[in-house]
Amino acid sequence: MEFRYLRGVTAPGIARSAAYDISGVVPGTHLAVPSPTLTMIIDLGHGLDLTGPGLPERTSFRLCLSGMHPTPYLVHHDGLQRGVQVDVKPSLVRALTGAPAAELGGEAVELDALHPGLAAELYGRVSTAPVADREAVAAAVLARYATSGHEVQPDAAAAWAHLAARQGRVTVAELVERSGWSARYLAMKFTAEFGMGIKQAARLMRFDAARRALEAGESAADVAARAGYADQAHLSREVRAFLGYSPSAYLARRRSEFTPV
């Protein structure tokens, strides 16, 4: 899941953390897209209203943690969105909740249901922090929990880290050779920790890198070549599979979000 960032910081176990403050726009919806991180939203507005994977109906959250979902959530807003987004690396989830990312799957839940103490501290400290410090405060609280002693399975963690460093452009055979374990053992540990297979994770990481490049204005042909897709048509199929839009339609959708009143 991803929102538009105003600014951001990083910390151990956190891919990025950023405050956002959006107002004076036409009420509507925007896409929260799949990514190889879990997304935590500390909502300081009127509630984070979502429809999408695992939600039987439109649901409002105050402090939401969403897993690595394969299709977008739709975020409904009334013209105001204010809060902090934290993109949490899967390796940090055990430290925060005591359970692997696999247990959350691709669903969105209230953090209070997983760790009431953390939820209360996060919301309390972030909501009372100066606007300019909110993302740093959130990152600092989470970084402290990173030393809780609940550590990710090391072989799975090493495989995920190598995949992430290569933006998914790694074969299963290469990961197996690096690990020194059998393909069956590594696949079992990886799936148990992250809730998806190695090939599925690599596909998600490659898509994430390609999507970011497209949003940055790079041509579809260049993105396809650099991301390792067979051709531009292959890229288009992957974007449509994850987002439900062609690359051009997705970019047009993004541009139409948050229209000023």
| Integer Cα distance of 85 and 17 in angstroms | 6
pLDDT digits (tens, 9 = 90+) for 13-57: 899 888 999 999 999 999 999 999 999 999 999 999 999 999 999
Q: Is the dihedral of CA 255, 256, 258, 261 positive or negative?
A: positive
Tell which CATH classification among 2.130.10.10, 1.10.10.60, 3.40.50.720, 2.60.40.420 matches the domain 154-256. Answer: 1.10.10.60
Dihedral of the alpha carbons of 106, 207, 21, 77, in degrees to the nearest 10:
-60
Whole-number pLDDT of residue 1:
42
Whether pTM exceeds 0.85: yes
What's the mean pLDDT in 194-207? Answer: 98
Average pLDDT of the chain, as a whole number: 94
Whole-number pLDDT of residue 150:
79
The closest alpha carbon to 213, from 165, 162, 250, 171, belongs to: 250
pLDDT digits (tens, 9 = 90+) for 12-23: 789 988 899 999
| Integer Cα distance of 65 and 61 in angstroms | 9
Equal CATH topology for 9-145 and 154-256: no
User: 159, 65 in Cβ contact below 8 A?
Assistant: no
Contacts of 48 (CB under 8 A, 6+ apart): 41, 60, 61, 62, 64, 75, 83
H helix intervals, 49-195: 93-97, 101-104, 111-114, 116-128, 134-145, 154-165, 172-179, 183-194
Tell which CATH classification among 1.10.10, 2.60.120, 1.10.150, 2.60.60 matches the domain 9-145. Answer: 2.60.120
pLDDT digits (tens, 9 = 90+) for 77-131: 999 999 999 999 999 999 999 999 999 999 999 999 999 999 999 999 999 999 8
> What residue ranges do the domains of the chain occupy?
9-145, 154-256
pLDDT at 147 exceeding the cut of 90? no
